[in-house]
Structure 1
Amino acid sequence: MNQPQRNALYYAFIVALGGFIFGLDIMLISGTHEYTKAEFGLTSLQLGNIAAGPGYGALLALLFAGYFSDKFGRKNTLIIIAALYTISAIGSAFAPSYFWLFIARLIGGLAFTSLSLASIYIGEIAPAKMRGKLVGMNQLNIVIGVFVATLVNYFLVNTAQEAPSWAQAILLDEQHVWRWMLGVEIIPAMIWLALLFVIPRSPHWLILNGHQKEAESVMEKIRPAEDVAQEINDIKVSINSAESTPSLLEQAEAIFSKPMRIALLIGVFMALVQPLTGMNAMLAFMPMIFQQVGGDSSAFAQSVVVNLVGISFTILAMLLIDKLGRRFILLGGLTVGTVAMAIVAFAFFNAVYVITPDTLSAMNVAVEDAGKFAPLLNTEFYSDVDIKEAVLGTVGQEMYSTVEANLIISTASMNGTLVFIGIVTFVCAYNFSIGPILWILFSEVFPTKVRALAITGCAFITSVFGGVVVPTLFPVQMETIGAAFTFAIYGVMCAIGLFAMASILPETKGKSIEEIEEELKARSLGKT
């Protein structure tokens, strides 16, 4: 690797650290649900809102992210994003109520645009032969952040339960442990903020705004000297003007023009396919999912194992994505994801739930209240929804509220190994394929002059479904239609995505952004 390549790698790594903080954010919250529900008396919908709060913020931010990115530059916008992450982490850790926790999480969502901005910046500085790997670092950092968060949650929960004297001295107990979980994010957010001042401004943005001398200076750091002039010229040809940034209206007209038809379809379909597979819900509620299997004490440990395996497949994707190609990897990942979700759904469809005297003890039902459950003893229920409705209808809301947390954990009898295998397989497929391919394709299929608006627009769609709809509805779905149908829906979404992308996605590996632009334009106009 020559020095320009090392420089590109270094700058891309710094920018991709935003993915690490994103991964921390979405996974740290997964360990807090049991505690915040008890402290603030949350309903299932409020619980979903806490998980989806960042999604609402992301939607708001994405309305302006493209404008800020073009107006003030990729670098300056990323600095603002890092500051928002820091503010959100502090606010979440010290939130005094459900409302303030939701607001702090929403502020963090304003920073979730780091994913789209990172793909823009890295795509613009990366050499064509390294672009897949460098943009894919964003996904690698996400899964590393997720894994670190599972380790942190596991450590904090165990420490709070064991209650050593040093932990009690710093209020690391079962009442405050969730605040420690959310406060962990403060330190990496501040480090990322400081590092972003090191990176240069994007050469594409500099030329787009008429700063050619500075663009040439930056390009000399990230390209061999003999390639600088040609790359500068290619960018100018793509932009078609180095004097000013196209207006939002001009960009919108270009995006919806006939030459951009295939690129737009790829962007929109990918923006829908990725979140509707359900990954964000699984990350945000992974301990809850494993508790549904009946593994309360091991739920956090299982989450650690799942995400550790997931990291290895993300690293594998980084090594192979520029060799196997985007199309092959994406279609393979969607195929495996479909099968994995079918396995999980099958395991839940075949579950049996039975209340016995032993399960009443596990649910902490007082002896004097045990008689209320007599009509339900030794009755077999074949879905988590059925047993919840039966208990609620038999013992009433007040008693149900006291046993709800441990009801499924105590009564479930199912093939937990099958659920674990299915979820591990899906996480591997997602981290190897569906996750990183999204941002790589976003960085490749849209021309420079419309990239900021196009990518943030597609990211807006992803955020609507992945950041808001899917995680908000997950606890409601689990309560109303049950785990089996919830995971079956995710499997169907994977299958739909497979057929859609198989019909429209070309191979883009090893091609410059300008070459990809010309190919997609020709296909849109029916010339190939």
Structure 2
Amino acid sequence: MNQPQRNALYYAFIVALGGFIFGLDIMLISGTHEYTTAEFNLTSLQLGNIAAGPGYGALIALLFAGYFSDKFGRKNTLIVIACLYTVSAIGSAFAPSYFWLFIARLIGGLAFTSLSLASIYIGEIAPARMRGKLVSMNQLNIVIGIFVATLINYFLVNTAQDAPAWAQAILLDEEHVWRWMLGIEIIPAAIWVVLLFMIPKSPHWLMLNGKQQEAESVMETIREPEEAIQEIRDIKTSLNETDHTPSMIQQAQLIFSKPMRIALLIGVFMALVQPLTGMNAMLAFQPMIFQQVGGDSSPFAQSVVVNLVGISFTVLAMLLIDKLGRRFILLGGLSVGAIAMAIVAFAFFNAVYVITPETLSAMGVSASDAMKFAPILNTEFFSDVAIREAVLGTVGEDLYNSVAGNLIISTASMNGTLVFIGIVTFVCAYNFSIGPILWILFSEVFPTKVRALAITGCAFITSVFGGVVVPTFFPWQLENMGAAITFTIYGSMCVIGLVAMASVLPETKGKSIEEIEEALKAKSLS
């Protein structure tokens, strides 16, 4: 690896640290729910708002991220985002009330736009032969952040429970442990702020704003001399030798023009398919899924295994993405993802649910209330929906609500190993393919002059479905449609994505952004 390549790798690594903080942020909060509920006497709706706050913040920020990215530059916008992460972590750790905790979480959500801006910046500074590897660093850092957050929460909770003298001295006890969980994010966020001052401005953004001399200076640090000259020439040609930033209206007109048809189709369709495969739901409710199927291992232990597998396959993706190519990896990942969801759905389709005296005892049902279950005692039900409806219709709403949380866990008889294998396989496929490929394609298929608006627009779609719709409706789907149907839907989305991408997605491996632009334009006009 020559010096320019090392420079590009170094800058990409710094920017991709935002993915690590994102992973920390979305997972650290999962360990705080019990403590914040007790601290602020939260209702279920308030607890849901704290969990969903970053999602709403991200939607707000994405409406403006493209404008700020073009107006003030990728680097400066990323610095502001890193500061928002820091403010959010401080505000969360020292929140005096539910309201302030929600606001602090909302501010953190504004910083979630780091994912789309990192994709823009890394795509613009990475050499064509390294672009896939460098952009996928974002996904690697996300899964590392998630795994580290799981370990941090586990360590902090156990330390608070054991209460050694040193922990008591710093108020690391069961009353304040949730504040440590959220406050630990201050450290990496502050470090990221400092490191971002060391990266250069994007040469594509500099050219977009008529600063060719400065762009050439930056390009010389990340390309060999001949490559630097040629890429500056290609960027200038792509921009049609304009020396100004197109307005949002002009960018929108370009995005929806006929030459951009295929690029827009790829971007929007992948922005929909990726979240609708259900990964965010499985991440947010992973312990609950494992609880439903039972098994000897604890849900926490199973989650640790899944996250470790996720890291290993993300690393594997980084090693192979620029060798195997985007198209091959994406189509392969969607195929494996569909098979994995079919395995999970098959296990749930073949599940049997039976209420026995033993299961009633496990659910904590009193002897007097147990009599009300007599009409359905020892009756086999073949779906989670069927047993819920039977219990509700037999014992009434009040008693049903008291046992609903443990009903499926206590009565289910299924192949839990099959479910675990299916979920692990899907996580492998997602972290190797579906997850990182999205951001790589975003960084490649959109021309420089519309990239900020196009990528943040597609990221907005992904955030709506991945950050709000899918995790919000997952519990509703389980209750009203059943696990088998729910996972079948996720598998179907993999199949739909496979068919669609097989028909429109070209191979972009090893091509410059300008070469990809010309190829997609030709395909759109043909």
Query: What secondary structure sits across from 1:507 in the alignment?
Result: coil
Q: Which amino acid aligns with 1:500?
A: A
| Cα gap change, 1:470 to 1:178, in 2 (>3 Å) | farther
* Residue equivalent to 1:466: 466
- Partners in 2 of 1:361 and 1:328 — Cα distance? 52
Conserved? CA contact 2:295–2:417, under 8 Å: no
* Residue equivalent to 2:10: 10
- Partners in 2 of 1:98 and 1:385 — Cα distance? 35
Alignment deviations for residues 427-458 of structure 1 (CA, whole Å, 9 cap, x no partner): 00001100111111111111111111111111
| Cα gap change, 1:31 to 1:417, in 2 (>3 Å) | farther
Report the TM-score, using the length of structure 2 for normalisation: 0.92
* Residue equivalent to 2:293: 293
Alignment deviations for residues 253-297 of structure 1 (CA, whole Å, 9 cap, x no partner): 111111111111111111111111111111122112212223597
Alignment deviations for residues 98-134 of structure 1 (CA, whole Å, 9 cap, x no partner): 6554443332221111111001000111111111111
- Partners in 2 of 1:116 and 1:161 — Cα distance? 39
Q: Superposition pairs for residues 26-425 of structure 1, below 5 Å?
A: 26-32=26-32, 40=41, 42-43=43-44, 49-95=49-95, 100-159=100-159, 177-294=177-294, 298-365=298-365, 370-371=370-371, 373-425=373-425
* Residue equivalent to 2:519: 519
Conserved? CA contact 1:90–1:186, under 8 Å: yes
In the TM superposition, what is the alpha-carbon distance from 1:164 to its structure 2 partner? Answer: 5.8
Conserved? CA contact 1:263–1:445, under 8 Å: yes
- Structure 2's unaligned 5+ residue stretches are none
| Cα gap change, 1:416 to 1:447, in 2 (>3 Å) | same
Q: Which deviates the most, 422-431 or 185-194?
A: 185-194
Q: Which amino acid aligns with 1:319?
A: L
In the TM superposition, what is the alpha-carbon distance from 1:156 to its structure 2 partner? Answer: 3.9
In the TM superposition, what is the alpha-carbon distance from 1:521 to its structure 2 partner? Answer: 0.8
- Partners in 1 of 2:94 and 2:29 — Cα distance? 14
| Cα gap change, 1:4 to 1:21, in 2 (>3 Å) | same
Alignment deviations for residues 283-340 of structure 1 (CA, whole Å, 9 cap, x no partner): 1221122122235971111111001011111111111111111000000000000010
Alignment deviations for residues 346-405 of structure 1 (CA, whole Å, 9 cap, x no partner): 112222233334334433445665555555543333333333444445555555454443
- Partners in 2 of 1:474 and 1:300 — Cα distance? 20
| Cα gap change, 1:154 to 1:129, in 2 (>3 Å) | same
| Cα gap change, 1:267 to 1:76, in 2 (>3 Å) | same
RMSD: 2.6
Query: What secondary structure sits across from 1:301 in the alignment?
Result: helix
Report the TM-score, using the length of structure 1 for normalisation: 0.92
In the TM superposition, what is the alpha-carbon distance from 1:42 to its structure 2 partner? Answer: 4.4
* Residue equivalent to 1:494: 494
Conserved? CA contact 1:30–1:285, under 8 Å: no
- Partners in 2 of 1:379 and 1:98 — Cα distance? 45
Identity of aligned residues (%): 85
Query: What secondary structure sits across from 1:129 in the alignment?
Result: helix
Conserved? CA contact 2:337–2:430, under 8 Å: yes
| Cα gap change, 1:180 to 1:382, in 2 (>3 Å) | farther
Alignment deviations for residues 110-161 of structure 1 (CA, whole Å, 9 cap, x no partner): 1111111001000111111111111111111111112212222333455556
- Partners in 1 of 2:488 and 2:42 — Cα distance? 30
The number of residues matched between the two structures is: 525
Q: Which amino acid aligns with 1:484?
A: A
